[in-house]
Chain A
Amino acid sequence: SQQGEEDPQALSIQEGENATMNCSYKTSINNLQWYRQNSGRGLVHLILIRSNEREKHSGRLRVTLDTSKKSSSLLITASRAADTASYFCSGGSNYKLTFGKGTLLTVNP
């Protein structure tokens, strides 16, 4: 199954700043996914990084994976007010996504 615990629980920054959130997991994984959830909406897939990859980029997103530390980080550069949302990670090898409580990111205009 999948697993993921996000940290910090909440993060508040100003528009234009970078936001970094972290994810830890306990057992070995084949890949790790990051999702975003806007208030009252469903989750939106952001990016998937495989266990043999160390870093991956998608637009303003940068994800790193350190399998030796069983951790991942998501960096959002040049943040915008529209990035305000909860962010979740899930690492594993099959279809069962499992998330922690997420990181609530607030980007202030």
Chain B
Amino acid sequence: NAGVMQNPRHLVRRRGQEARLRCSPMKGHSHVYWYRQLPEEGLKFMVYLQKENIIDESGMPKERFSAEFPKEGPSILRIQQVVRGDSAAYFCASSPREGGDQPQHFGDGTRLSIL
């Protein structure tokens, strides 16, 4: 049973370009979470999605960032007009159910570098 799959593992973009990060949750998981990890920092929550719905985007910057989890296909985290400060590791996690007592299963992340 494949785990959470994220791609690409590494992504390099120039300032002003768009970055698209993909996440396929574990089979049977319909709850997806995105986190960002800045260098030397812990993971910070960005957004929580279920199929076709954004449940909580309170951790996501108001501008340039968006996320979706369509009925078919992976979840996408999209960053428009990237800036140097967007350089970070972005992790996706999934769980079969909602709840604070549900362990989250993480992918290996996408490391985004902005030139």
Mark A residues whose CB is within 8 Å of B.
1-2, 4, 30-31, 33, 40-45, 48, 50, 88, 92-102
Contacts and interface: CB of A to CB of B under 8 A. Distances in A.
B104 to A, nearest CB: 6
Assign chain B's interface to a size class: 20 to 34
Interface string B80-93: 00000000000101
Q: Please report whether the interface of chain A is mostly helix, strand, loop or mixed according to DSSP.
A: loop
21 contacts: A4-B42, A30-B100, A33-B103, A40-B108, A41-B109, A42-B4, A42-B6, A42-B108, A45-B103, A48-B103, A93-B100, A95-B48, A95-B95, A95-B100, A95-B104, A96-B59, A97-B35, A97-B45, A98-B42, A98-B45, A100-B42
A99 B42 contact: yes
B42 A42 contact: no
B43 A97 contact: yes
A33 B42 CA distance: 14
Contacts of A45: 103-105
B72 interface: no
Contacts, number: 68
Contacts of B6: 42
Contacts of B93: 42-43, 97
Interface of B: 4, 6, 31, 33, 35, 40-45, 48, 56, 59, 91, 93, 95, 98-109
A95 B98 contact: yes
Contacts of A98: 42-45
B100 A42 contact: no
A101 B40 contact: yes
B102 A95 contact: yes
A97 B104 contact: yes
A59 B103 CA distance: 18
Contact of B41 (A33, A48, A93, A101): A101
Given A42-B91, A88-B43, A98-B45, A30 B104 contact: no
A31 B42 contact: no
A58 B82 CA distance: 43
